[in-house]
Amino acid sequence: MNEFRRAALFLASAASVVLAAPALAAQPLTLTPAPVKAQALDGSFRLSDATRIHVAKGDVEARSVAQQLSDLLHRARGVRPAVVEGEPAAGEAAISLVRGGPDGEGYGLDVAPGGVKITAQKRAGLFYGAISLWQLAVQDEAKGPVDVPAAQVEDAPRFAWRGFMLDSARHYQSIDTIKLLIDGMAAHKLNTLHWHLVDDQAWRLEIKKYPKLTQVSAWRTPAGAAARDLKTGKPVRYGGFYSQDQVRDLVAYAAARNVTIVPEIEMPGHALAPIVAYPKLGLTPNPPALARHDWGIFPYLYNVDDETFGFLNDVLDEVMDLFPSEYIHVGGDEAVKDQWKESAAIQAKIKALGVKDEHGLQSWFIQRVEKHINGRGRRLIGWDEILEGGLAPNATVMSWRGIEGAIAAAGQGHDTVLSPEPTLYFDRRQSTSLDEPPGRMTVSSLKDVYNFDAAPDALTADQRKHILGVQANLWVEHIRTDERVQLMAFPRLVALSETAWTQEERRDWNGFAARVPSQMARLKVLGIKANTAPFEPQASLRPGQDGAIAASLKSGLELGQIRYTTDGSEPTTASPAYGEALSLKAGTVLKARSFLDGQPLGRTRAWTATEWAAHTRVSRQLELCGNAIPLLFEDDAPENGRDGERAIFATDVMKPCWVWKGADLSKGLKLTAWVGQTPWNFQIGKAKDQIVVRKPATPDGELEVRVGGCEGERIAAIPLGKAGRGPGLGTVGGVLPARDGVHDLCFSFTAKGLDPMPALDRVTLTSAGQ
């Protein structure tokens, strides 16, 4: 690979090079993740069905990469270059895959009008060179032949571990969806899929020696009203599992895209599912089979007798036969020790082993498992709790509770992967948009992920050598559909790819943001449903002057410019740019869309300016009274308990009440509220006792309204009646008495108990005379 002597280096994350003659000028490079070195050159390479991809005779690996490139080009643009063995003919403008140059995952890419050359020693490098060429050919959603901008690229990754964890235990995803996620990872040079297959809620992997793991524990009954089919009244059986044949196919599919699947088998905690199937594995004779629909931390731990380790060794052997990954993940997190503390047999074991306490017993447990894993030539990795009580000698630590675990592990000479919450926990919403899917309310935006520091200052230079890489985690307690899994993963995984691949000094948010339209286009042509809500305008409608409606517009990431119309037409780059709040006549249809460098970002959004809309706020627009466990979660049950759209509530589980700031009570107000309910399915231990539930005065409870805060004077108690019985939403109404001035109003519910838990969907406050 030459050293790019013809011009100064051009980084893909920087602005494009523009020369005097537009037809011949160097074109923008939109490679993501940004390469180590890249130079945009004059001219372009014409890619069409007539193009051929050449590989050396007998090079099976190169031929497979060439075929993948051809397939990807067909998938995105509809062109399918032929793959041939041997050198290109004299004067042929072709694509060549050549061995040599960079080692490992590194590659060189030369694009010129007369041909394209991808150079790498290893298959992984050839694959990533092909991915970069594909990206240059796919910068929008257009079909047909394309002029690929001329460029020279020299590239290699910053970190070896560039990961994404998918939780398939809480909700099952189809094999097709997982393959689609792998496609999106590979298209952005992510190389590790950490597959969370086992938890309290389900066991998803077929184990031949222990069939009950999937016969019994791959299935559960949903919580609440969703537990029964509304048409038949019969219990709903929810779940699924992955057969060993499916896993082999998936492992091969991932490997072909340079993605290694690392399986996780949780221990010693998060073990309720296997204990339900085989109770002798636990410490209680009657584990609660039906409680596996709960979210949170269960207290059930594995026993520590030889029979249990025999089971675990058998399981791990079948796992290692299926997954050729260097690492096997054993969890190790959130192992509540109460059962161990209360068991005479466990306390005798602690004394016999000479370990200090239950933490020491967990360390002994993990080290015993590690010996078996090491005996198969593999390495153990676990969450940072495996540091407690002493770390297994060869273990690698995945730090999720901030970066402290990584710092501690690296300080002790252990390898580590940074995967901290909340930033890299993709069950967090991506913006404050009202269109975000359910999940945790803390925002982890595209920019937050991009700006994550993967080399903390707290580590010395030598300790930083122990950082294998970074990983984002997608926990799916509140993400029940395959489509939502995609929405929560993308486009944030694109940001993670640059954090994981690109050298720190080459990373630049503004450069990355400029490439967002191309990035979103590539995800779309791959068939991935990426979340566009953070880019899209959101409107806030409030009462204006003289009967007008005041409309404010804002997008979550504030990228580009918002343009709008008020005549019903679609916004374009020629439409007015939004600057300050608009004053609209009642009945006006406001449409708005975000644009970046002349390209649309996300969908056009529309609102009708009405008095009703101006006086209505959904729960996500109200202020929560607490911030202990703030969640966006769904109403109890739609049709048949599983399908269809559900209302999404913003609620703090520990303090379920909502505040409307600044309500004018001077003339009294008419209140209309949409209310629903959710099942109480949270394993939060003794913290549940701290939740205040006021006793109802009527059979179905009341919606209470207080002034001046949640402990203020109650000015209304509106019986819920039928609206409080669910499932689905119901409406209640009442009148709030006049009171001088503007006041904060707090809404809460009375109930007979926490299950089901009443929830507020939205509130409308209008003049009492309306």
CATH number at residue 655: 2.60.120.260
Report pLDDT for 638.
57
Same domain, 114 and 175: no
What distance, in Å, lies between the first and last C-alpha atoms of the chain?
76
Same domain, 428 and 289: yes
Kindly indicate the confidence band of residue 551, based on its pLDDT and cuts at 50, 70 and 90: very high
pLDDT in tens, 190-240: 999 999 999 999 999 999 999 999 999 999 998 888 888 878 888 889 999
Tell me the C-alpha distance between 203 and 685, whole Å: 23
Same domain, 328 and 269: yes
Find the mean pLDDT for residues 122-149. 97
- For residue 619, the 8-state DSSP code is G
Report pLDDT for 1.
38
pLDDT in tens, 257-282: 999 999 999 999 999 999 999 999 99
pLDDT in tens, 326-350: 999 999 999 999 999 999 999 999 9
When divided into structural domains, the chain yields a total of 4
Exposure class string for 473-507: b at 16+ Cβ within 10 A, else e = bbbbbbbbbbebbbbbbbbbbbbbbbbbbbeeebb
Partners of residue 153 on adjacent β-strands: 38, 109
Q: In terms of DSSP H, where are the helices of 195-305?
A: 212-215, 244-255, 272-277
For residue 525, report the phi and psi dihedrals to the nearest 5 degrees: -70, -20
Same domain, 105 and 89: yes
Whether the per-residue pLDDT at 256 is higher than 50: the answer is yes
Same domain, 604 and 620: no
Q: In terms of DSSP H, where are the helices of 434-564?
A: 446-450, 461-464, 482-489, 492-501, 509-514, 516-525
Report pLDDT for 640.
43
Query: Where do the DSSP E strands lie in 252-387?
Result: 260-267, 295-296, 327-331, 379-383
Kindly indicate the confidence band of residue 392, based on its pLDDT and cuts at 50, 70 and 90: low
Report pLDDT for 464.
87
Active site residue 326: no
pLDDT in tens, 431-461: 999 999 999 999 999 999 999 988 878 788 8
Find the mean pLDDT for residues 66-89. 97
Domain end (from 155, 173, 199): 155
Q: Of the listed 318, 334, 404, 611, which one is catalytic?
A: 334
Domain end (from 100, 121, 155): 155
Q: What percent of the chain has pLDDT over 90?
A: 83
The average confidence (pLDDT) of the chain is: 92
Whether the per-residue pLDDT at 60 is higher than 70: the answer is yes
Number of H helices, E strands in the chain: 18, 40
Same domain, 57 and 191: no
- Does residue 466 sit within a domain? no
- Does residue 12 sit within a domain? no
Same domain, 624 and 600: no
Report pLDDT for 25.
62
Report pLDDT for 715.
97
Same domain, 542 and 639: no
Kindly indicate the confidence band of residue 728, based on its pLDDT and cuts at 50, 70 and 90: confident
CATH value at residue 272: 3.20.20.80
Find the mean pLDDT for residues 307-327. 98
Kindly indicate the confidence band of residue 404, based on its pLDDT and cuts at 50, 70 and 90: confident
Whether the per-residue pLDDT at 285 is higher than 90: the answer is no
Domain end (from 566, 592, 611): 611
Whether the per-residue pLDDT at 394 is higher than 90: the answer is no
Report pLDDT for 468.
96
Report pLDDT for 395.
85
- Does residue 459 sit within a domain? no
Tell me the C-alpha distance between 684 and 678, whole Å: 16
Kindly indicate the confidence band of residue 17, based on its pLDDT and cuts at 50, 70 and 90: very low
Whether the per-residue pLDDT at 18 is higher than 70: the answer is no
pTM: 0.94
Comparing 638 with 363, the larger pLDDT belongs to 363
- Does residue 469 sit within a domain? no
- Does residue 385 sit within a domain? no
- Does residue 402 sit within a domain? no
Report pLDDT for 644.
54
Report pLDDT for 188.
98
Which domain range does residue 756 map to?
616-767
Whether the per-residue pLDDT at 96 is higher than 50: the answer is yes
Which tokens is 207 given? 């184990």
Kindly indicate the confidence band of residue 727, based on its pLDDT and cuts at 50, 70 and 90: confident
CATH value at residue 544: 2.60.40
Same domain, 687 and 579: no
CATH value at residue 135: 3.30.379.10
Kindly indicate the confidence band of residue 388, based on its pLDDT and cuts at 50, 70 and 90: confident
Same domain, 291 and 367: yes
Highest averaged pLDDT of the listed ranges 181-195, 228-242, 621-635:
181-195
Whether the per-residue pLDDT at 483 is higher than 70: the answer is yes
- Does residue 29 sit within a domain? no
Whether the per-residue pLDDT at 476 is higher than 90: the answer is yes
Report pLDDT for 770.
58
- Does residue 680 sit within a domain? yes
Report pLDDT for 406.
83
Same domain, 631 and 499: no
For residue 495, report the phi and psi dihedrals to the nearest 5 degrees: -65, -40
* Long-range contacts at 690-699 (CB < 8 A, ≥ 24 apart): 690/654, 691/653, 691/654, 691/655, 691/656, 691/754, 692/655, 693/750, 693/751, 693/753, 693/754, 694/748, 694/749, 694/750, 694/751, 695/750, 695/752, 696/750, 696/751, 696/752, 697/750
Is the CA virtual torsion 473, 476, 482, 483 positive or negative? negative
Same domain, 223 and 339: yes
